[in-house]
Structure 1
Amino acid sequence: MDLLERVQRRAMKMTRGLEHLSYEDRMRELGLFSLEKTRLQRHLTAAFQYLTGIYKKAGEGLFTRTWSDRTRGNGFKVKEGRFRSDIGKKFFTVRVVRHWNRLPREVVGAHSLEMSMSRLDGTLSNLV
């Protein structure tokens, strides 16, 4: 847990009327995501923008896309690259691919960024 997460947890403890609730329940009551889920939301949003061509030049070659109707969940899968060292595991594409491939079809198949964001919020809020 990083410093910012510890500060957020401490601030949540000072919220009046919610002292009896756990950290996760306080966040849910206030309609907030943890910092980890907020980071994941931003990464998945950026991945959507790369994959749909909003970031054309910057996103060239970031992901290997595969499309199949035979897979469960969403049919729009992306593949991770291969890296020789552990440093590769910290790259944006590697962090995002695992989560992207588990998203429901309605999130990854959205026609606009706004629609994808609202569906992603709903999906992530179920995980809180």
Structure 2
Amino acid sequence: MELLQQVHRRAIKLVRGLEHLPYDDTLRKLGLFSLEKRRLHGDLITTFQNLKGTYREGREGLFIGNCSDRTRNNGYNLKEGKFGLDMRKKFFTMRVVRYWNRFSKEVVDAPALTVFKARLDKALNNLV
């Protein structure tokens, strides 16, 4: 277990009245995400910003879009881009693409970042 996760677990146990509950139940009661979900949450926000054009530099080849009007997907599925030796980018895309493609069209087509964050929170509660 990572050091950060150990610290997180100890801090959660300091909440009075919830110290007897398991870690996952305590997080649910407090309305918090686990560290894994928080990392995914940040990655998905970065992906949304990347696709909406916030990050202009280094955008080419990170994601390959597959636009479609089929009703079984969100209308904009992603595929991982191909990279030479820069493995971090590939790992980022592998982490994100699997979840992005599961979202409904409502989440993916958010008009602004604040709307996307609100919809993402609801979707992640149901998805992960």
TM-score by length of 2: 0.86
**Alignment pair present for 1:103 and 2:103:** yes
Change (3 A) 1:46 1:88: closer
User: Where do 5+ consecutive residues of structure 2 fail to align?
Assistant: none
**Alignment pair present for 1:5 and 2:13:** no
- Which residue in the other structure is 1:21 paired with? 21
Deviates more, 1:117-126 or 1:12-21: 12-21
| Number of residue pairs the alignment of both structures matches | 127
1:15 is matched by which residue type in structure 2? Answer: V
Counting aligned pairs with the same residue, the percent is 57
TM-score by length of 1: 0.86
Equivalence map 1:1-128=2 (5 Å)? 1-82=1-82, 87=87, 91-127=91-127
User: Where do 5+ consecutive residues of structure 1 fail to align?
Assistant: none
Task: Say if 1:88 and 1:94, in contact at 8 Å, map to a contact too.
Answer: no
User: How far apart are 1:101 and its partner, in Å?
Assistant: 0.8
User: How far apart in 1 are the matches of 2:77 and 2:42?
Assistant: 19
Root mean square deviation of aligned Cα:
2.2
User: How far apart are 1:31 and its partner, in Å?
Assistant: 1.6
